[in-house]
Amino acid sequence: MKPQAQLTLLALVAGLIILLFSAAFVVSETDQVIVTQFGEPRGEAVTEPGVHFKLPFIQHANYFEKRFLEWDGDANQVPTRDKRFIWVDTYARWRIVNPLRFFERLRDERGAQSRLDDILDGETRNSIARHDLVEVVRSTNRQEDTQLAEVGEEATILAQIEKGRQEITREILEAASARVADADLGIELMDMQFKRINYVEEVQQDVFARMIAERNRIAERFRSEGEGEAARIRGERDRELKRIQSEAYRTAEELRGVADAEATQIYAEAYNRDPSFYAFMKSLEAYEEVIDSNTIMILTTDSDMLQYLKRIR
């Protein structure tokens, strides 16, 4: 074969390959495809996985996700029914259920995100404006809060809710889903949740100050109750101490009385055995009490003490 014929054959093979690749497109399990010709859709969406074909160079395959997609809203400043301005940040999950209608109305995911911004942000603002702040930040009336509210003094800060955050979220999702269905956008909202709820910067300090004051008041009440309990315990302690001291004093006096009686009995027995010696010993005890080293004593000749000293010499 001549070289020129070989080049022609190679060019034809390359052209066929290029034509084949241009005509074929692959659909995966996570994709769905709309085939367009000069920007206009041709036929129904291709959702079956596998290799499919289209007109080369003229038609184009537009891929769309089958899986759930994420919508992440911007934080917005929203007023509640009780005139509290808060920052609300939300997110949602959605999916494409009708690729052909989706392509006709929104073209691509960027167009869908922009449309969802209008729908979800608007319904979020409308729903929050119909409810008080406590309904937005709480989901249920907790049992411990109800018990505290029964005290009476705490009832002013523990307002009971009627719907709560989960119910408000469901309302927003239902209203937004209805608007999406009415607009026939080819998408379905699966879920919507609050990501963050916070006070605006201008009122945060006032709210924190009020919360601190309230906590201080409750702490002061507990502190007062603790001091009262401490005073009661100290009173019981002092009363118990006095009782123990009184019983100890009574026991000591009883023992002292018994000891004095025994001593008196011993003294009496000693006196009965030798009265003169007993009297002499008592005299010595008396002298020991009243006489010191500087005392001068004058004894008569008939003094028992003098007679005793003479016998010692």
What amino acid is encoded at 184 in this protein?
Answer: D
Write the CB contacts of 81 (distance below 8 Å, at least 6 apart in sequence).
129, 130, 131, 132
Q: Encoding tokens for residue 151?
A: 């005290």
Please, are residues 99 and 64 in contact by the beta-carbon 8 Å criterion? Answer: yes
pLDDT digits (tens, 9 = 90+) for 269-312: 777 777 777 777 777 777 777 777 777 777 777 776 666 666 65
Write the CB contacts of 200 (distance below 8 Å, at least 6 apart in sequence).
77, 85, 86, 87
> How many percent of the chain have pLDDT more than 70?
90
The structure's pTM equals: 0.61
pLDDT digits (tens, 9 = 90+) for 151-174: 444 444 556 788 889 999 999 999
The more confidently predicted of residues 201 and 31 is 31
Mean pLDDT of 74-94: 91
The more confidently predicted of residues 137 and 302 is 137
What's the CA gap between 276 and 259, in Å, rounded?
25
Please, are residues 138 and 165 in contact by the beta-carbon 8 Å criterion? Answer: yes
What's the CA gap between 119 and 150, in Å, rounded?
42
CA–centroid distance for 244 within its chain: 48
Q: Encoding tokens for residue 255?
A: 């023992």
What amino acid is encoded at 51 in this protein?
Answer: V
> How many percent of the chain have pLDDT more than 90?
50
Alpha-carbon dihedral 158, 163, 168, 174, rounded to 10 degrees: 180
Q: Where are the alpha helices (DSSP H) in the chain?
A: 3-23, 99-105, 109-129, 133-137, 143-149, 165-183, 201-273, 275-290, 304-312
Domains and CATH numbers, the chain: 3-65 (no CATH), 69-199 (3.30.479.30), 249-312 (no CATH)
**120: burial class by Cβ within 10 Å (0-12, 13-18, 19+)?**
buried
Q: List the Cα angle 107/48/44 in 5-degree steps.
A: 45
Residue 75 DSSP one-character state:
P
Place 120 in a pLDDT band, splitting at 50, 70 and 90: very high
pLDDT digits (tens, 9 = 90+) for 172-218: 999 999 999 999 999 999 999 999 988 887 767 777 888 889 889 99
What's the CA gap between 34 and 103, in Å, rounded?
8
